[in-house]
Amino acid sequence: MLRGLLSFCRNLLRKTSVEADLHEEINSTVEILTEEKMRENLPRPEARRRALLELGGPEQVKERIREARAGTMVEQWLQDIRHGFRTLGRSPGFTVVAVATLALGIGINTAVFTIVNGVLLRPMPFPQPERLFLVAYTPQNGPFDNGPCLLDRDYLEFRREDRVFEQIASFAGGSANLSGAGDPANIPAARVTPDFFTVLRVNPSIGRDFLAGEDQPGHDHVALISDSLWRNRLAADPSALGKVIKLDGDDYSIIGIMPIGFRFPSNAEVWRPLATRIDPHASMMRPVIGRLKAGVPPRAAQAELDAFTRRFPSIPGEDRTAWRARILPVKEMLVEKIRPSLLVFTVAVGFVLLIACANVGNLMLARAAGRQPEIALRIALGAGRWRLVRQLFTESLLVSFAGGTAGVLLALWGVQPLLSLAPDGTIPRTEMIRMDGWVLAFTMCMSLATGMIFGLVPAFQTAGRGLREAVNRGGRTFTGRHESLRGALVIAEIALALVLLAGAGLMLRSFLRLRAVDPGFRAENVLTATVDLPDSIYRTASQMQAFHEQALSNLSVMPGVLAAGAVNWEPLGGNLVKGDFQIEGGRQLPSGYMVDKPCVSPGYVSAMGIRLLSGRDFTERDDASAPGVVIISRSVARDLWPGEDPIGKRISMEEHPKSKDWLTIIGVVDDVKQMSLSLKSDAAMYQPYRQVARPFFLSHMTFVVHTAYDPQTIASAMRAAFRKVDKNLPVQSIVTMQGLIAETTAEPRFRTRVLGLFAVLALSLALVGIYGVMAYTVVQRRHEIGIRMALGARSGDVLGMILRRTLLLAVAGIAIGSAGALALTRVLAKFLFEVSPGDPSTFVAVALLLCSAALGAALIPARRATRIDPMLTLRYE
């Protein structure tokens, strides 16, 4: 088969040279014949004429040769394939199990590759995406946390100096409160510099792009909207152009509608102009994108950027060496976070496929042993050994391609369930995930490769054996070589399964540790709702406080509500404000000491169930006219007043506090996980919202209610309570606190689940493999077992014999697998929380699980062995 394939390719690829060779051969034959005739003293022309006559027409001969060459190959191929189908059809059990095993292995690989292909490999859906690059600071080592971006100042400077990019634009993702088009809603919204779409080379499908100068005040109340926004909220009205919508309370007129599916960046529904200018007080960091000039290699752009950063050393933070300005493919921005997970999954399913291959290889070996008589007969009848190898191999390929086809079907069905395991937003570019030519080509290659892996060795083992051996043994007995090969395959399966189980075990352990973390508050029966007060309507702190007060009083009288409160940056919400403060008496804070500064309503502490350790909670009397008060968290008390009672001590948030700026500590509460369950609790200092004057601290507020029963049931009542205060204000999200916690642990849970799923698959396949091999061993050795029992061996001895062998294989597999796992689980380190990649207890647990599962799988054939009737087997022989 292989040789046929090679020669087929040779014939195709070197068609001209094969033709030339043929031509030359015929010519040389004519010459040889002519010379032969000339030796009979014929003149050359006559000699040549006779030579041609004897040859019988050079072109006809050539044609017949061509036919013969092609004929043999195709004929032998077809014959092998026909034969393969016939023999496979004769053993449907084998065929079904082998194809199903491979379909599982190939299917899951195809599904994962479909996702990897769509997310990581397909280019971005812009014209000539290979020329689009982000310009960004990146950490010297490791991925960026907050997305790739550049300071406005550097962006403007770089844009002025740059010679290698056609154009450079900047943009920012975010959200906006939309009203004036259906119900008020908070939608993803982007701000982009006017040349942004020119850089991407994407044009609105209706209307126009931003014009230069539309980022300037007075001209900047224009917006582009997404196709989906246009369809869902403006009924796809063609007269929507020029219509005015309200974003965060300001009017914007629609100037264009983007093409279907275009949602870049950050899934935006609406794009507004962005002005970048240098502000001496604050410099924003934003992503920057540029299109390289045609023919300029990315290396040149990087060199230019390096030269630029050397002259303008304005890298954020103190540690310059930790950062580097780099150009990155645009895709990086989207796939940076998910890539490590996807690569881990790819390796994991690769292991599953290898286990499937080992299983099918084992089946092949067992089957080949059963076919020894047939093969012996064919060798005796003169079948070439090579031809037999080729035939057995053709069978393997038929099986693997059938498995591949079934695998594609499985993957078609399986991609969606796999994706649905992922929490929203974890997997970017889902619109690119589909089965395409690349995926099919990948599956083809994989089928071919698996066919080779599980098919070649058994083929050579079987057909390569000498005739005498085959005839002598007559197919009755297995050979030692087969037995040890089978053992090696089982060991490999167990080793592979162990690596996956260890990986999944570590993830699970880490996830459980994460879940067991005490967040510092009561998550049960708490419902949260977040509102953003647009500063175009709520202009002063007191307007905002009035809203909060009214909302809180509406919430607290709702039936089922035990307590209501509000906080500006809710725990685990992903945002916080940190800062330092002064201690009365001139004592300095430890250098770099910063605390979270949430601002809360009276009742927040009890609504959230945050433990009040000493002192009192805020009350309604702690308002602007009352003396300033704060509540500190346990860490602040421990860090600054160890062994002392902090209650009554005074601090100030101001740099040069006047006497009214001193705030008295009235209570100490427990630490709360503010950023993430996996990070340590931040020290915090709570202020009552009525004593906070800066609108910045009041415009974003999360309301929490502690309910007497299932908090979901009052979600709509909660929405109504807000609408009663301001009917135009969209409530961003109403989620339970437990939901919020689940959201923050969603990614680890996703990774754990997917890896766990693959590990379970691997384990099941390995167990099927162990069962199969042991069952086969029992059948093969029934004669020997029969004799042993006839000689007095008890069934316990026989059981022990089989289980001992299983244990031996399992232990060998576990030893090899542990070594491999120790090397491989290191890549999981960044996913693990309070678990080391070599965690001994996980490894021991996984090894024990695998051992007992292997013994369990071997128990069925072992018990069958004990029921062998010695008389029957001896008579059979």
Partner 1 sequence: MTEQRTDLLRGTLDLLILKSLTLEPLHGVGISRRISQITREAFHVSFGSLFPSLHRMEERGWVRAEWRTSENNRRAKYYQITSLGREQLKSEERDWKRVVKAMTTAIQST
CB of 65 to partner 1, least distance (A): 5
By CB under 8 A, tell whether 580 contacts partner 1: no
Binding mask 103-142 for partner 1 (x = CB under 8 A): ----------------------------------------
By CB under 8 A, tell whether 55 contacts partner 1: yes
Task: Kindly tell me the sign of the dihedral angle through the C-alpha atoms of 36, 42, 47, 49.
Answer: negative
By CB under 8 A, tell whether 59 contacts partner 1: no
Q: Which of 9, 13, 20, 32 binds partner 1 (CB under 8 A)?
A: 32
CB of 456 to partner 1, least distance (A): 18
- Residue 717 near residue 703, CB atoms below 8 Å: no
Closest CA to 523 of 741, 712, 669: 741
Stretch that binds partner 1, among 23-31, 95-103, 657-665, 800-808 (CB under 8 A): 23-31
By CB under 8 A, tell whether 50 contacts partner 1: no
- DSSP H helical segments within 643-745, as ranges? 715-725, 737-744
Q: At which residue do the structure tokens 């095993």 appear?
A: 101
By CB under 8 A, tell whether 28 contacts partner 1: yes
769-805: buried (b, 16+ CB within 10 Å) or exposed (e) per residue? bbbbbbbbbbbbbbbebbebbeeebeeeebbebbbeb
Q: Which helix (H) or strand (E) holds 561?
A: strand 561-567
Note the Cα 291 to chain centre separation in Å: 28
> 79 or 852: whose CB is closer to partner 1?
79
Backbone φ and ψ of 776, nearest 5°: -65, -45
- Residue 315 near residue 137, CB atoms below 8 Å: yes
> 38 or 787: whose CB is closer to partner 1?
38
Stretch that binds partner 1, among 67-75, 125-133, 169-177, 767-775 (CB under 8 A): 67-75
Strands 250-257 and 222-225: parallel
* Distances in whole angstroms, Cα of residue 360 to Cα of each of 45, 108, 110, 781: 66, 16, 18, 21
Closest CA to 802 of 817, 816, 791, 788: 788
Long-range CB contacts for residues 125-128, cutoff 8 Å, separation at least 24: 125/261, 125/262, 125/432, 126/200, 126/201, 126/202, 126/330, 127/201, 127/202, 128/201, 128/291
CB of 86 to partner 1, least distance (A): 13
Beta strands in 243-319 (DSSP E): 244-247, 250-257, 270-273, 285-286, 288-292
Task: Kindly tell me the sign of the dihedral angle through the C-alpha atoms of 378, 383, 388, 389.
Answer: positive
By CB under 8 A, tell whether 61 contacts partner 1: yes
What string of H, E and C letters represents the secondary structure of 475-508?
A: CCCCCHHHHHHHHHHHHHHHHHHHHHHHHHHHHH
CB of 388 to partner 1, least distance (A): 11
CB of 60 to partner 1, least distance (A): 6
CB of 26 to partner 1, least distance (A): 8
CB of 374 to partner 1, least distance (A): 14
> 44 or 616: whose CB is closer to partner 1?
44
By CB under 8 A, tell whether 46 contacts partner 1: no
Which two tokens mark 577? 């404000």
By CB under 8 A, tell whether 79 contacts partner 1: yes
Q: Which of 19, 24, 237, 279 binds partner 1 (CB under 8 A)?
A: 24
By CB under 8 A, tell whether 4 contacts partner 1: yes
Q: Which of 19, 46, 75, 279 binds partner 1 (CB under 8 A)?
A: 75
Which two tokens mark 832? 């693990």
What string of H, E and C letters represents the secondary structure of 127-144?
A: CCHHHEEEEEEEECCCCC
Q: Which of 17, 72, 416, 472 binds partner 1 (CB under 8 A)?
A: 72
Q: Which of 19, 54, 279, 319 binds partner 1 (CB under 8 A)?
A: 54
Total residues contacting partner 1 by CB under 8 A comes to 38
> 29 or 733: whose CB is closer to partner 1?
29
Q: What is the largest CA-CA distance in the chain?
A: 135
> 75 or 797: whose CB is closer to partner 1?
75
CB of 461 to partner 1, least distance (A): 20
Stretch that binds partner 1, among 128-136, 232-240, 377-385, 790-798 (CB under 8 A): 377-385
At residue 246, the 3 state secondary structure works out as: strand
By CB under 8 A, tell whether 710 contacts partner 1: no
Output Rg (C-alpha) for the chain, integer angstroms: 37
By CB under 8 A, tell whether 60 contacts partner 1: yes
Cross-strand bridge partners of residue 688: 600
> 79 or 553: whose CB is closer to partner 1?
79
By CB under 8 A, tell whether 67 contacts partner 1: yes
By CB under 8 A, tell whether 69 contacts partner 1: yes
Q: Which of 219, 386, 712, 720 binds partner 1 (CB under 8 A)?
A: 386
Q: Which of 217, 295, 317, 382 binds partner 1 (CB under 8 A)?
A: 382
CB of 364 to partner 1, least distance (A): 24
Stretch that binds partner 1, among 62-70, 86-94, 753-761, 783-791 (CB under 8 A): 62-70
Stretch that binds partner 1, among 26-34, 268-276, 665-673, 718-726 (CB under 8 A): 26-34
Chain positions contacting partner 1, by CB under 8 A: 3-4, 7, 21, 24-26, 28-29, 31-33, 35-36, 54-57, 60-61, 64-65, 67-69, 71-73, 75-76, 79, 381-387
